[in-house]
Structure 1
Amino acid sequence: MQILSGMDRARNALERGERLPGGTLPLPIAESWQRCRELGLDPHRRPRGEVVPFATVTRRRQKMEGLRRLALAEMQVLYAQIAGSNLMIALADAGGMVLDTISDQAFTESTAGRAIIPGSLWDEARRGTNALGLASDASQPVGVFGREHYFTCHAHLSCMAAPILDAHGQVLGLLDASCANEARQQHTHALVRMAAAQIENGLIFQECADNFILAFHPRAEYLDTLSAGLLALSRDGVVTALNRPGSALLSGLPAGADARFDTLFEMPFARALDGLLRGGVFPIRDAAGSQVLMVCRQIAPGLAVRNLHQEPQARPHDKGGSAPRFVCADAAVKAAMADIGQAVAMGMPIHLTGETGTGKELMARHIHEVSGRRGEFVAVNCGALAEQLFVAEIFGHEQGAFTNARTEGSIGLARQADGGTLFLDEIADIPLSAQTALLRFLDAREVRPVGGLKIHKVDVQIVSATNRNLEAMVAERAFRADLLYRLNGLVLHLPPLSARSDFALVVKHLLQELAPGVAITDAAIASLAQREWPGNIRELRSLLQRLLLRRQGAFIDETCLVEGAGDSGDTCPACRDRGLASRICREIRATYRVHRSVTHTARALGLSRTTVYKHLCGEPLN
């Protein structure tokens, strides 16, 4: 005697009009079947395939423009992640009206593909038990696998849908993946939930562009994942948005609309923000006493760090009294900065080393702020001064002191910096003939203008910088040893961008400076991190400016990283002239050229090896 499975017994009962046997179906599916029966739907018939006029779809798209921009980019990433054929990704509004789809040719030409089109309605009353309808009703992710669909004609499909919620828990839209029944159901379901969460986080960045956005989680390794809470706050600490993980982490606390940071956490908002804006991970306890780790993901634009609170300003030489205006979460950078306060208090010269574009002038300006000096910060590009003019520019000159001298004379840059900081950039390029004069100045801190007799005493903090090896230059007699010993009282080395552990924070910080409120995906940052960056932070800033021009939505994803994104050149034949698909394909092929490894390419882009193979199978990559 054949033993029927629970699903077999449930289907037999459904199709015969009998009472459904208990315990054979997941409860949400059983309840949906019962509702469909009560509506008089016949499981043997084809559902009512209602499609609204395209003008209605267009109006609905316009109302959901912000969400749709985010969702379309995420749908393409999701499509690339789910390997295999017979696949469709769909975006619907909160009521189950399909707005956009991305699918492969096999699914498009199937019966289901012809049914899931823009304007089609997928509420339960019309389509029976289906993932879009259930996710809309329950406001929860739902999977409907194979014969769990009410209508028999849908038994070959597995559909996974997740709602896209706003910061108050209201359904804004639905994301669905439909594929052949034999596809990896749980894997796909997890990816759909993650994609919906990514869109929700993107909406927070998009809609809270004038707010601070903080990420928090009890464990540091989860701060850059979708498990992290995102908390958007106005400048005075009022909660404007909180994502789903954040609501769960603050469960039991008054974290609703108009809540205040000070009621959710033990530390006052101004004090916490002051610590967060210094960079790195900041520990804090919530009002229930549980510790979480927090980082600042977005700074409210136009707000100076020094005006964040009303506490008295740090006195000159007060160690740590000035927060840096750049990211310094990298251990090497933090270690280099540890002694700045004491060094400037002693008037010690500080020498900065590092490759071109690593931020030496930013560090020099930070040293000036830490010093508390009221005088000017005066930067001198030593490599840009002609040899015969170097001494006159630095120390000044009297009227008519030499040919082509200014008619009115000049006090010189050293006196201009009196009471402040003199930053000698590209110090290795100082002519040998001028090094003696500079050495004498560093010893006595006295200036006598060219052609003058009067000596002027000056008080300056000396900061120098170079991207060259001065010790090697000393050995080659191209730089004076005694001058080097005067300059390198405290040596700070800035590592290259490619070696920094806080690369992601640097990217986000620069992006917020260039375009406050524009987010960047983790996949895009991972792709950027694979590059060499010979121009360091300066090169990264330039690239981010180009990406802002190239982006299609409200944030930058990895598809924006393709150089020449407007042409249809380097794609596999299947992706040619397919819009977003072709951009993904170009990025995969470009990344492969760098790594020459399918495994490394897949890891860099966050894709499966199968997906990478699929896009590399066209003409050989030379």
Structure 2
Amino acid sequence: MPPLSSLDRARAALEAGGRFPGGALNPEIARSWERCVAGGLDPGQRPSEVVVPFAEVKARREARALLRRLALAQMQLLYEQIAGSEFMIAFGDADGVVLDTLSDARFSESEAGRAIVPGSRWDETMRGTNALGLALVEQAPAAVYGREHFFASHGRLSCVAVPIFDPAGRIAGLIDASSTNEARQQHTHALVRMAAAAVENGLIAQERSDVLLIALHPRAEYLDTLSAGLIALSPEGVLLSLNRPARAMLAGLEAEPGQRFEALFDGNLGAVADEMAAHGVARLRDRAGSLLHVSCRRLAGRTAVPVKAAPPAVTPSKASVPTPAFVCEDPVLRRRMRGLEAAVRSRLAVHIHGETGTGKELMARHVHEISGRTGPFVAVNCGALPESLFIGELFGHERGAYTSARNEGSSGLIRLADKGTLFLDEVGEIPLAAQSALLRFLDTMELRAIGGTRVVKLDVQIVSATNRDLAAAAAARQFRSDLYYRLCGFALEIPPLRARSDFDAIARHLLALHAPDATLREAALQRARLRPWHGNIRELQSFLRRAVLTDDALDEAEEDDEPADPEAAAEVCRHCADTMLARLRCRQIREAYRDSGGNVLATARQLGISRTTVYKHLDDA
């Protein structure tokens, strides 16, 4: 009979109720077993399988929308990287509740697969020693293989879990990879670590739009990897957040939020920004004397950092920033636009997101205006170009390059935008085959026509727009994630019309354009404010034009002027079904409640009403 392994001896002692031998287990596993024994758990029994209701799972998902979106994208990548090894990937929150899973068929049909489901709790007090629960307790990556699990019923399950820390350094969630294979898959552990690091970097990058994101590493070739440190600085040069590699590199210094750049590094932020703008990578020493290479991941925000001026061909000719040709008095929109000028000056790609009709092209034209570029503004509707002709129309082609090519050839839409701005509208509709070609162009700004041999270097400001959720599309492998991040050098979301506080100014501005002599009274504005405006500013513009053309009294809109919307008509509480104004107000409250992720207090603050009023309109939701 072969001798017992140290794990077998420890296991036997555990199940006999004795003390397991010292040194037989990894220290974190031994500590976990001791906690489980102290908590009264029996390794021979089956663990409590607590599953929270789906309504609570949904609420937890909505409360962590950004974190979840980033995690799902990484889970999809992991799924493809470890496919075929009978596994499951899970995303859990900081309470140990599983929110999402991705699994192959064999694992999902196993006993372990039926236990790891959305809503299942895997904290150590209920499930004993397991990777997800252990990572929460230790606040560090954890691996639990086979019989290292406290409960014998988990003896064929092997899992690794890595916590995701938010910008404040608190655990926000976890990514777990579990398998029924007891082999210690070190490569899987490394992949899960990389996935968690990518999510953490995404949280820092998307925490605020008006920040300067700087990557740092002792070796320049590692600046674009997940091992690079990442710090977010305010427009005034104050440290807002940093990732774990950055904390490690700045160990010994007071690298905490609130600290100024000059207190951590031996150099002036303005001079460092100039060097990054000129050469891409700058060198500086921290206050402990260590040499670091730094590069700019994103420049956004109203920053006092002097950035190297653009070449004369694109330098703004005016001293002041051009006034937008549209109304933007809404404080949310103005806050999101902060840093737009600095981003354009740094030649970052600008991505505009918003519902249909919110004015994305007007914003794109404003970007072109503030850039001061002498070239044209070239708008491309990516959804209108046939997939078979997309690359040829965008990049140009030589005569006879392909079957449907023009006889005389084409210079391409991108080349037309040289020294100007290329606006890629409906960018989410770009065919997958063309996305790699566009990514290469964005990286090099070099263009070669189809069938041609000559490479042309261009100078183009890139602006893209969509009403789709590109992050979700990237997670679903419907849009290249590297292209998505490349387009989002500066991301700007335009609020829908129903959420804007400058509605009155917008309505009067549009009316003045089409009928300068017409007026809107307060009563008419009040009724108009309560409409859902699913088509946003475009719908409002059409409404005002129609009213002027038909000579309707703009201040005496009839109740039956409400657009027919059977679905919306049903979305009101029983108290508000009788009158148009009541229905519109009720819909507005319910929609704001949904947009806030089910937060009553946030809804009340946004609409300037009491929480009691909000509850009244949700009583039968």
Give the TM-score normalised by structure 2.
0.54
User: Where in structure 2 are the equivalents of 1:310-321 lying within 5 Å?
Assistant: none
Match of 1:3 in 2: 3
Match of 2:56, as an amino acid? T
Match of 1:192 in 2: 192
Q: 1:119 to 1:527 in 2, by over 3 A?
A: farther
CA apart distance, 1:246: 0.2
Partner secondary structure for residue 32 of structure 1: helix
Q: 1:171 to 1:514 in 2, by over 3 A?
A: farther
Match of 1:308 in 2: 305
Partner secondary structure for residue 20 of structure 1: coil
Q: How many angstroms apart in 2 are the aligned matches of 1:239 and 1:512?
A: 33
1:365 aligns with 2:284: no
Partner secondary structure for residue 88 of structure 2: strand
Task: Answer yes or no: is the 8 Å Cα contact 1:131–1:160 preserved in 2.
Answer: yes
Match of 2:300, as an amino acid? A
Match of 2:201 in 1: 201
Q: How many angstroms apart in 1 are the aligned matches of 2:281 and 2:464?
A: 27
Q: How many angstroms apart in 1 are the aligned matches of 2:373 and 2:154?
A: 75
2:308 to 300, 310, 323: 323
Task: Answer yes or no: is the 8 Å Cα contact 1:97–1:121 preserved in 2.
Answer: yes
Match of 2:144 in 1: 144
- 1:79-106 deviations in whole A, cap 9, x for unaligned? 1111323211101111101111111111
Match of 1:86 in 2: 86
Q: How many angstroms apart in 2 are the aligned matches of 1:223 and 1:250?
A: 16
1:173 aligns with 2:173: yes
Q: 1:289 to 1:556 in 2, by over 3 A?
A: farther
Task: Answer yes or no: is the 8 Å Cα contact 1:135–1:161 preserved in 2.
Answer: yes
Q: How many angstroms apart in 1 are the aligned matches of 2:112 and 2:460?
A: 45
Q: 1:302 to 1:15 in 2, by over 3 A?
A: same
Q: How many angstroms apart in 1 are the aligned matches of 2:123 and 2:295?
A: 41
Q: 1:178 to 1:247 in 2, by over 3 A?
A: same
User: Where in structure 2 are the equivalents of 1:537-556 lying within 5 Å?
Assistant: 545=464, 549=468, 551-553=470-472
Match of 2:168, as an amino acid? H
The total of aligned residue pairs comes to 372
Match of 1:560 in 2: 479
Q: How many angstroms apart in 1 are the aligned matches of 2:140 and 2:162?
A: 6
Match of 1:214 in 2: 214
- 1:535-591 deviations in whole A, cap 9, x for unaligned? 68889977x8378846134988964139xx9xxxxxxxxxxxxxxxxxxxxxxxxxx
CA apart distance, 1:257: 1.6
Task: Answer yes or no: is the 8 Å Cα contact 1:135–1:162 preserved in 2.
Answer: yes
Match of 1:272, as an amino acid? V
Match of 1:134, as an amino acid? L
CA apart distance, 1:166: 1.3
Task: Answer yes or no: is the 8 Å Cα contact 1:157–1:180 preserved in 2.
Answer: yes
Q: How many angstroms apart in 2 are the aligned matches of 1:14 and 1:242?
A: 42
Q: How many angstroms apart in 2 are the aligned matches of 1:424 and 1:151?
A: 69
Partner secondary structure for residue 231 of structure 1: strand
Partner secondary structure for residue 479 of structure 2: helix
Partner secondary structure for residue 235 of structure 1: coil
Match of 1:96, as an amino acid? G
Match of 2:242 in 1: 242
- 1:125-166 deviations in whole A, cap 9, x for unaligned? 110000010101111000001110011111111110010001
User: Where in structure 2 are the equivalents of 1:278-293 lying within 5 Å?
Assistant: 278-293=278-293
Task: Answer yes or no: is the 8 Å Cα contact 1:286–1:292 preserved in 2.
Answer: yes
Task: Answer yes or no: is the 8 Å Cα contact 1:85–1:106 preserved in 2.
Answer: no
Partner secondary structure for residue 144 of structure 1: strand
Q: How many angstroms apart in 1 are the aligned matches of 2:195 and 2:99?
A: 17
CA apart distance, 1:205: 0.7
CA apart distance, 1:280: 1.1
- 1:175-217 deviations in whole A, cap 9, x for unaligned? 1000122455211111111100000000011103210000000
Q: How many angstroms apart in 1 are the aligned matches of 2:26 and 2:119?
A: 30
Task: Answer yes or no: is the 8 Å Cα contact 2:161–2:177 preserved in 1.
Answer: yes
Q: 1:212 to 1:373 in 2, by over 3 A?
A: closer
Match of 1:226 in 2: 226
Identity %: 49
Partner secondary structure for residue 278 of structure 1: helix
Q: 1:265 to 1:152 in 2, by over 3 A?
A: same
Q: 1:3 to 1:511 in 2, by over 3 A?
A: farther
Q: How many angstroms apart in 2 are the aligned matches of 1:168 and 1:424?
A: 44
Q: How many angstroms apart in 1 are the aligned matches of 2:225 and 2:109?
A: 37
Q: 1:136 to 1:514 in 2, by over 3 A?
A: farther
Q: How many angstroms apart in 2 are the aligned matches of 1:422 and 1:204?
A: 32
User: Where in structure 2 are the equivalents of 1:49-88 lying within 5 Å?
Assistant: 49-88=49-88
Larger Rg belongs to: 1
Match of 2:160 in 1: 160
Match of 1:228, as an amino acid? A
Task: Answer yes or no: is the 8 Å Cα contact 1:298–1:512 preserved in 2.
Answer: no
Misfit runs of 4+, over 3 Å: 421-425, 510-515, 524-542, 546-550, 552-559
CA RMSD of aligned residues (A): 3.8
Unaligned runs of 5+ in 1: 310-321, 326-362, 375-420, 426-466, 468-496, 498-509, 516-523, 566-622
Q: How many angstroms apart in 1 are the aligned matches of 2:270 and 2:308?
A: 14
Q: 1:72 to 1:170 in 2, by over 3 A?
A: same
CA apart distance, 1:300: 1.4
Task: Answer yes or no: is the 8 Å Cα contact 1:547–1:560 preserved in 2.
Answer: no
Partner secondary structure for residue 294 of structure 2: strand
- 1:443-482 deviations in whole A, cap 9, x for unaligned? xxxxxxxxxxxxxxxxxxxxxxxx9xxxxxxxxxxxxxxx
Task: Answer yes or no: is the 8 Å Cα contact 1:47–1:128 preserved in 2.
Answer: yes
Match of 1:551, as an amino acid? L
Task: Answer yes or no: is the 8 Å Cα contact 2:72–2:475 preserved in 1.
Answer: no
Match of 1:297 in 2: 297
Match of 1:592 in 2: none
Task: Answer yes or no: is the 8 Å Cα contact 1:71–1:199 preserved in 2.
Answer: yes
Task: Answer yes or no: is the 8 Å Cα contact 1:85–1:107 preserved in 2.
Answer: no
Partner secondary structure for residue 292 of structure 1: strand
Q: 1:284 to 1:169 in 2, by over 3 A?
A: same
Q: How many angstroms apart in 2 are the aligned matches of 1:530 and 1:365?
A: 20
Match of 1:308, as an amino acid? V
Q: 1:556 to 1:283 in 2, by over 3 A?
A: farther
User: Where in structure 2 are the equivalents of 1:107-506 lying within 5 Å?
Assistant: 107-183=107-183, 185-301=185-301, 308-309=305-306, 323-325=308-310, 365=313
Q: 1:290 to 1:180 in 2, by over 3 A?
A: same
Q: 1:256 to 1:274 in 2, by over 3 A?
A: same
CA apart distance, 1:114: 0.9
Give the TM-score normalised by structure 1.
0.54
Q: How many angstroms apart in 1 are the aligned matches of 2:139 and 2:12?
A: 30
